[in-house]
Structure 1
Amino acid sequence: MSSRHILSGPNIALIAVFAAFIAASTLVPEVTLAFGVPFSLQTLAVVLAGLCLGPWRGAAAVTLYVVVGAAGLPIYANNAAGLAILAGPTGGFLVGFIPAAWLVGYVAVLVRKRIRLSLPALIIAGLVSIPVVYAVGIPWLSQITGLTLGQATVAMSPFMIGDAIKVVIAASLASIIHRAYPQLMPANPVQKTAVDVEEAATA
Structure 2
Amino acid sequence: MTDPVATDVIAEPAARTRARLTTTDLALVAAFAALIGALAYLGAIPVGGAGVPITLQTLGVALAGAILGPLRGFLAVSLYLGLGAIGLPVFAEHSSGLGVFTGVSAGYLISFPIAAALIGFLVKYVVGPRRIRALLVLPAVAAGSILVVHPLGIAGMMIHQGVPFEVALSWDIPFWLGDVIKITLVSLIAAEVHRAFPKLLARS
CA distance in 2, matches of 1:53, 1:18: 9
Deviates most, 89-98 or 27-36: 27-36
Mapping 1:1-203, distance limit 5 Å: 2=16, 5-34=19-48, 35-113=50-128, 116-131=131-146, 132-186=148-202, 192=203
Inter-partner Cα distance in structure 2 for 1:3 and 1:53? 19
Given residue 140 of structure 1, which amino acid in structure 2 is its aligned partner? Answer: G
Task: Give the TM-score, by structure 2 length.
Answer: 0.87
Distance between the aligned counterparts of 2:67 and 2:113, measured in 1? Answer: 15
CA offsets per residue over residues 74-112 of structure 1, 9 Å max, x none? 000111111111110001101101110000000001234
Is the CA contact (8 Å cut-off) linking 1:111 and 1:121 kept in structure 2?
no
SS at match of 2:131: coil
Identical aligned pairs, as a percentage? 36
Larger radius of gyration: 2
**Whole-angstrom distance in 1 between the partners of 2:106 and 2:134:** 31
Q: 1:3 & 1:93 partners in 2: Cα distance?
A: 34
Q: Is the 8 A contact 2:123 2:140 kept in 1?
A: yes
CA offsets 1:132-175 (integer angstroms, 9 cap, x no match) = 11221111110100111121011111112211210111111112
Q: Tell me, what secondary structure is at the counterpart of 2:173?
A: helix
Note the aligned Cα RMSD (angstroms): 1.7
Q: 1:174 to 1:114 in 2, by over 3 A?
A: closer
Q: Which amino acid aligns with 1:18?
A: F
1 CA distance for matches of 2:192 and 2:37? 21
Unaligned runs of 5+ in 1: 187-191, 194-203
TM-score relative to the length of structure 1: 0.87
Structure 2, unpaired ranges of 5+: 1-14
Q: May I ask how many residue pairs the two structures share in their alignment?
A: 188
Could you tell me whether the CA contact under 8 Å between 1:32 and 1:39 is conserved in 2? yes
The aligned residue for residue 200 of structure 1 is none
